[in-house]
Every structure is written in C-alpha cells, then in structure tokens.
Amino acid sequence: MIKKSLFPAAGYGTRFLPATKAIPKEMLPVVDKPLIQYGVEEAIEAGINTMAIVTGRGKRAIEDHFDISYELEHQIKGTSKEHLLEDIRKLMNSCTFTYTRQKEMKGLGHAVLSGEVLIGNEPFAVVLADDLCEGDGKGVLKQMVELYKKYRCSIVAVMEVEKDSIHKYGVIDAKELEKDVFVVSNMVEKPKAKEAPSNLAIIGRYILTPDIFDILRDTKPGAGGEIQLTDALKTQAQKGMVLAYKFKGKRFDCGSVDGYVKAINYFYDKTKK
C-alpha cells in the first residue's frame, strides 16, 4: 500500500566538514555500508519498492552507489571477492531508484516538496538516512506501515529524549490513543527545555499523506529561515489527524559525530557476535 519512500538527501552536512566537502553525508560508511543503504534496506523490508531520492549538487556518489559499476564487476568476477557485492546487487534488483534535485537548500519541508514530482498523489514514507534505526525484530518503517494500514493518516516516529537535548528536536504535544500511539495536537520545532510540550521528540521516519504537498506550498519559512516539515505537519494535525508512534528499537543520530561513532561501535560489535 505504501510503495514509495522519499529520501531527502540534499543537506550540506556541515557538522561533518571537511569530510562532507566532496562526499555526501548519506554516503558516510557505518562499518562497510553507507548510511543511505541502511535506510533503503529498511524501506525494502517495509514492502516499499521505489526509492525517491532528493539530491543536490555534489551528491552524485549516491546515484553511482545504486548503479552497476561495470569495471568493478568485470575486475572481481570469478574471484574470491565477488561475494562482497552480493548484498548490494540483490538490493538493486529489488527496487527502483528515482532522483530529483533540490536546487536551493531551503529546509527539510522544501526538500519534501521538491520530491512531489517523484511521489505523485499517494501516501509515502520519508527516511532521513542520517537517523540510523534498528527495529526490535521488525524494522521501524515496517512497524509504521502496519500502523498506517489501521489509521490511514500521517504518522511521525517519536522517541523519549532527555531534557538537556530536547532543544535539538521537533517535539509533540499529544494524547495517547493506544499503547505507544498518540494523537498529535501541536508540534514545536527545537523548543527550549522549559517550553517543550513533552519529552517525545520526532526522529527521521515518517509516513505522509499526499495532502502534505499543498500544505507545504503554503508554509512560510520558520525556525532558521527554512521551510519546516514540522510546521506543515502541525497544520495537518490541526486540520485532520496526525499520529505519533513511539517505535520499538534503537536510533542513532548519525547527523552528529557523537551518534555516528556510537553507531559504528554498535554495528561493528554486532559483526563480531
């Protein structure tokens, strides 16, 4: 039912400079796989078969990663290293990649709106690849797609966050509908700790209904002069219904150096078990 996932990947990744000067943040490896590949694998597990990627200037490595490298294939064919390409070959055969460019980096909301041309008029998932998620037995996006089947409205993934870091997130005001599922009444982008309406912060996984595009078109720049997806979701919540889902699993903030190093240690330790 949800067949497409949008990957906004046009940001500058300034927190990783100089590493991200010529390499997209989404291509930074966690052990032996780039961040965006983890996101694509999570989407495939959720039954999604079209990966719609919003890129920008200097992001061509993403397209090359999900394409055949004839020279490399030729070089390692029949050698003991051939198995190293098996996973990515399988992944490329199980979905289609589409691309568009965000011409000016005017924020996440603007990046999602730039993806409209790839999504059309249907509900879709959004994955921010720099939030690396590992579900508790079942991927986070799969958990959300199942919830969408029940409620058929936009859903944001949330997690509990300590007071001292709440100012980095979009934070929801909401009432619990069933265990771990909340009806959102308001959202605040990057509040001060004492102004945060709850300790539930939005992370980079969403299911959105396509009316979000019209709302985004009418959304004025907010915090930081950027068009904020949170502001559009707040409008959608007030006009209709938006749910927040406290997902089961782990999330690493790989948009920050700290979270990125934690993710590498965690996934490296797993390869040793």
Residues that bind ligand UTP (CB under 6 A): 8-15, 25, 54, 102, 105-108, 110-111, 128, 130, 255
Nearer to ligand UTP, 123 or 253 (CB): 253
Least separation in angstroms between residue 106's CB and ligand UTP is 5
Least separation in angstroms between residue 195's CB and ligand UTP is 21
**Which residue's Cβ has the minimum distance to ligand UTP?**
11
83 Cβ neighbours under 8 A, 6+ residues apart: none
Least separation in angstroms between residue 11's CB and ligand UTP is 2
Phi/psi at 125 (5° precision): -95, 155
Burial profile 123-155: b = 16 or more Cβ within 10 angstroms, e = fewer: bbbbbbbbbbbbbeeebbbbbbbebbeebebbb
Least separation in angstroms between residue 29's CB and ligand UTP is 16
Task: Give the whole-angstrom CA distance, residue 101 versus residue 161.
Answer: 33
What tokens does 223 get? 């915090």
Q: How many other CB atoms sit within 10 Å of the CB of residue 30? A: 20
Task: Give the whole-angstrom CA distance, residue 8 versus residue 18.
Answer: 21
Sign of CA dihedral 45, 50, 51, 52: negative
Which residues face 159 on adjacent strands?
Answer: 201
Least separation in angstroms between residue 9's CB and ligand UTP is 5
Nearer to ligand UTP, 137 or 225 (CB): 225
Nearer to ligand UTP, 179 or 220 (CB): 220
Task: Give the whole-angstrom CA distance, residue 100 versus residue 116.
Answer: 10
Helices (H) and strands (E) in the chain, counts: 10, 13
Nearer to ligand UTP, 151 or 213 (CB): 213
Q: Look up residue 17 and give its DSSP letter.
A: T
Nearer to ligand UTP, 106 or 138 (CB): 106
Task: Give the whole-angstrom CA distance, residue 41 versus residue 20.
Answer: 23
Nearer to ligand UTP, 138 or 262 (CB): 262
Cα–Cα separations (whole angstroms), residue 273 to 41, 266, 269:
21, 11, 7
Least separation in angstroms between residue 159's CB and ligand UTP is 16
Least separation in angstroms between residue 227's CB and ligand UTP is 8
Nearer to ligand UTP, 106 or 262 (CB): 106
